[in-house]
Chains A and B, each alone.
Chain A
């Protein structure tokens, strides 16, 4: 009986350990994925002030660009 209980304990501990390790990797990859998505969006947003400046010539776009550039940088 002790042997059977030991099997349950062993399987439980090993599984939890394995799940913990893979969960850490998934969390790390998930953060990386999120950051890449943000970076992709920032690149697109970074073009917008210059494009809008060419459309209407409003000086406020210079400030918008500096703000976005500081975030991306």
Chain B
């Protein structure tokens, strides 16, 4: 119809052209109405799927959060399940000299050497953070803090462990581990180039011995930590500063023995487990966290079933120094714990 209009010789004010234009307007309005219906349908469909996406996203997030919370609770509760004693040996855990965990990557494996088995692990983590006078615990300046999820520099710590199980029944394991962090101080501070080196020997023996009618479990470890020396100027009281100069070397060791009379004829006795542990920790003399203490711990466990255990522990720590302690210490404690394994 537009072509007909263009064929008009005098188009301006032509009445036939105006009529054709009106007809065309009507056709276009009809077509646009049909397009509007399709647009409305398309828009409704898009909104429906956008809502579906939001619901899926929300549901998945809720499920994942619930399961993650459950895993975290399991790790906390289950962590107690995998250790014989309720408390950790001296030198491990809070204010410890060796790492218990780290954020990073690890490669581990095992291979046979004749009748023996060897295992290995190599890993790299964010590494420890050095406590300094400007930190939250200035009196512990020079101590390494391992339980840090946030890194304080760009340096990575590297660690490795090699273990040898000399017997074919894998009852005995001897291990050596080494851990090194080139920089443990916070980037941009006077301590940024301080490095740390740690090594440890560990021993494990787990075997059912018919001679004594049960399972014997022996665990022990010796760990040593060497951190580069530097002077820490600490404000002991407001306006009173002291230079802490010390040889930053710490060591700890522990030995643990447990016995479970699994071959007893009495069901109650079969479920019992007796545990004893001795551990010792020595930190640098002259430092704010100087300590020389030892721990004796005795425990009685009762296995309700294979994945649930009740624990009763008595612990006695003697020596001097330690976390916020000056002078002699003689701490006695009794712990009761119910652990569930997953």
Contact = CB atoms under 8 A, between A and B. Distances in A.
Contact of A1 (B13, B64, B342): B342
Interface residues of B, number: 43
Contacts of B17: 50, 54
A67 interface: no
Contacts of B5: 50, 53-54
B28 A47 contact: yes
B56 A61 contact: no
A31 B59 CA distance: 28
A44 B28 contact: yes
Contact of A11 (B21, B46, B50, B64): B64
B70 A4 contact: yes
A1 B74 CA distance: 8
Of residues B13, B38, B42, which shows the largest number of chain A Cβ atoms within 10 Å of its Cβ? B42
Given A26-B46, A44-B28, A54-B17, A7 B63 contact: yes
Interface string B70-81: 110010001000
Nearest to A56: B12
Interface in A28-49: 29-30, 32-33, 36-37, 39-40, 43-44, 46-47, 49
A7 B62 CA distance: 12
Contacts of A57: 10-12
A1 B35 CA distance: 55
Interface in B188-213: none
Contact of A7 (B10, B14, B67, B74): B67
B39 interface: yes
B38 A22 contact: no
B110 interface: no
A47 B1 CA distance: 10
Contacts of A11: 60, 63-64, 67
Interface string A4-17: 11011001101100
Given A1-B74, A22-B56, A44-B32, 6 more contacts: A1-B78, A15-B56, A22-B53, A40-B35, A54-B12, A56-B12
Interface of A: 1, 4-5, 7-8, 11-12, 14-15, 18-19, 22-23, 25-26, 29-30, 32-33, 36-37, 39-40, 43-44, 46-47, 49-51, 53-57, 61-62, 65, 69
12 contacts: A1-B342, A4-B67, A4-B71, A11-B64, A14-B60, A15-B56, A18-B52, A43-B35, A47-B24, A47-B25, A57-B11, A69-B2
